[in-house]
Structure 1
Amino acid sequence: MTDRLDQSNDTRQPLSELRASLHFLSAPPEDSTVECVFRYGADDPLAVRLELHVPADTPVTWVVGRDVLSAGVEGLSGDGDFKAWPSRAQSATPLLYLRLERPQGKAATFAADLTEVHRWLEHTYELVPAGDEHAMLDWDTLARIPLPPA
């Protein structure tokens, strides 16, 4: 886990990252380890970015709600294209399952070290406590973003 200040766009917002190895459940053994960076920043306090370093030129980034990922540490959480849940088996390394689903119906399920992710999530709540996210949002900038046509 690393912390730093995000200094892009002249901001000095706290940023926390967790570098983790995920197990890609449906991949052959030689390709089953996928490196992932979990990234949380106070500039986007409601979201966690999962940057998956798959065998491709560019990483795949998945943006999920921090509250959805956090709830997944305790039980099944998520609806739609992202789901998270803890393993039920009692093992030396408890697992957190992450299921990512594309609109075409193709899905990928990964397993992460639940303790490691849980500890990192707790740290993000030290940076921005639950319920304080709204105070970190730049409401003026959000109000200027055009909405897509209905």
Structure 2
Amino acid sequence: MITVIDQAVQARLIASVPETSAIRASLRYSRNDPFAVRVSFPPVASLDGSEVEWTFGRELLAGGLRGPAGHGDVHLWPYGPDRTVLELHAPEGMAMVQFDTSDLRRFLQRTYELVPQGCESRHLELDEDLAALLRDV
């Protein structure tokens, strides 16, 4: 049974100049963390030359496909009928990345097939997580 979804996508890093830079990114969803999605960017997309991963709510992704969504460090919004913008804020600065909306919708649909919307809490392993937390204290 599948427990993790990985999907490679094409993204466009939006720079302060009119040009954009195409980069490969990876979307990831795991049944073990059913409320979250992850997006990873290759080292060429970062200031320090290391891979960068951001984690945010699956609900935020769904909301950002319909209209402006997000608070704090992660924001998403539609950009015309075919693109979605992901805006990321960190102490080092801010980045804006465009994705094909169809790629994000396809990924989101795959996550719903793995863990249906509204059923996320059934996949949490609270006893194991609590035991691990208490071991670390």
Superposition pairs of residues 12-91 of structure 1, within 5 angstroms: 14-26=3-15, 29=19, 32-55=21-44, 57-87=49-79, 89-90=80-81
Q: How many Å separate the matches in 2 of 1:54 and 1:35?
A: 10
- What TM-score comes out, normalization by structure 1 length? 0.78
Q: Per-residue displacement from partner, 1:3-40 (whole Å, max 9, x unpaired)? A: x84xxxxxxxx1111101110111664x7112110000
Matched AA of 2:97: F
Given the alignment, which residue of 91, 113, 128 partners 1:141? 128
Larger RCO, structures 1/2 (Cα 8 Å, 6+ apart): 2
The 3 A distance-change label for structure 1 pair 105 and 53 is closer
- The farther-off stretch of 55-64 and 73-82 is 55-64
The CA distance in 1 between the partners of 2:97 and 2:67, in whole Å, is: 16
**Contact map agreement 1:35 1:54 (CA 8 A) in 2:** no
- Asked if the contact 1:34/1:54 (under 8 Å) is kept, the reply is no
- Distance in 1, Cα, partners of 2:103 & 2:54: 19
Rounded to whole Å, the distance in 2 between the matches of 1:141 and 1:71 is 31
TM-score of the two chains, using structure 2 as the length reference:
0.85
Match of 2:118 in 1: 131
Runs of 4+ with deviation above 4 angstroms = none
Q: How does 1:100-115 map to 2 (within 5 A)?
A: 100-102=88-90, 104=91, 106-115=93-102
| Number of residue pairs the alignment of both structures matches | 129
Higher helix residue share: 2
Q: Distance in 1 between matches of 2:89 and 2:127?
A: 33
What root-mean-square deviation, in Å, do the aligned CA atoms of Structure 1 and Structure 2 show?
Answer: 2.0
For structure 2, list consecutive stretches of 5 or more residues without a partner in the other structure. none
The amino acid of 1:68's aligned partner reads L
